[in-house]
Amino acid sequence: MDFNKELEKYDFLEIDMDLEDSNDEVMLLLNIFNSNIKRLSKEQNKSNMAIEELLEIVEEESANNNEYNVGLAESQMSSSKLKIKNSELKNMIIEMMDKIEVMYKGICSDSQNALAIEVKRIWESLKECLPTVGINIIDKENIPFNSQIHTIIETRTDLYNPDHTVLEVLKCGYIYENSDVKKAKIIVNKVDDLDACNERI
C-alpha cells in the first residue's frame, strides 16, 4: 500500500473545516443556554421581590375587618402563584443543567483540546450561577456518603479511601432552597475487609 497516495485522497482542509463548524455549533448552544440561565435568574429575582412586597403589605395591614381579610386572601393567592412559577423555573433550570452535564462529560471526558477547555469553563460558570436562583449543585467527590443527597449506583473497593466515601459522581444532584432535593447518582467506596483497609500502604 502506498501511504502517500492514500493520504492524497483526503482533503484535510475540508475535514478541519467540518470540525470547526461543529465546534461553533456547540459553542452557540452553550452561549444560548448561559443567556437563558441569566434571564431565568432575573425572572426569579423579580418573583422573589414581588413575594416580599406582598408580604410587607400584609404585615402593614393592621385592620381586622372584612376588607383586610379579602386583601389577605388575594395576597396569599398571588404569593402561591408566584411560588408555583418559581418551582417551574427551578425544574426547567435543573432539566437544562442535566442536558448540559451529559454534553460536558461527553466532550471533556478524555480531551484537552480548545473546545473541551471552553466547554469546561462554561460548565463551571453555570455552576456558579445556580446559587443566585436558590439552587445548589451536588457534585463533590471524596466526601462521606449521605443518603439524603446521594443515590448509590455502584460500589468499588479502594483501600486508599475510607469506607463509604464518594469515589465518583455519575450524575450531579441539586438542592433547591435547602429542602427540595434531586439526589446525585454516585459510585461509593465499599471496603469489605477492614483488616486489608488497615494494612493499606
For 120-182, give the DSSP string. Answer: HHHHHHHHHHGGGGTEEEE---SSB--TTTEEEEEEE--TTS-TTBEEEEEE-EEEETTTEEE
Return mean pLDDT, the chain.
75
Q: What is the pLDDT of residues 119-169, one digit of tens each?
A: 788 888 888 888 888 888 999 999 999 999 999 999 999 999 999 999 999
Of 80 and 107, the structure prediction assigns the larger pLDDT to 107
Which residues, in sequence order, are bridge partners of residue 184? 150
For 187, residues 6+ apart whose C-beta sits below 8 A from its C-beta are 152, 153, 154, 155, 156, 166, 167, 168, 170
Does 1 score more than 70 pLDDT? Answer: no
Of 146 and 93, the structure prediction assigns the larger pLDDT to 146
Closest CA to 132 of 171, 79, 93: 93
Percentage of the chain lying above the pLDDT 70 cut: 67
pLDDT value, residue 100: 79
Give the pLDDT band of residue 67 (cuts 50, 70, 90). low
pLDDT value, residue 177: 76
Residues 25 and 21: their CA atoms lie apart, in Å, by: 6
Average the pLDDT over each of 2-6, 12-16, 81-85 and give the range with the smallest value: 12-16
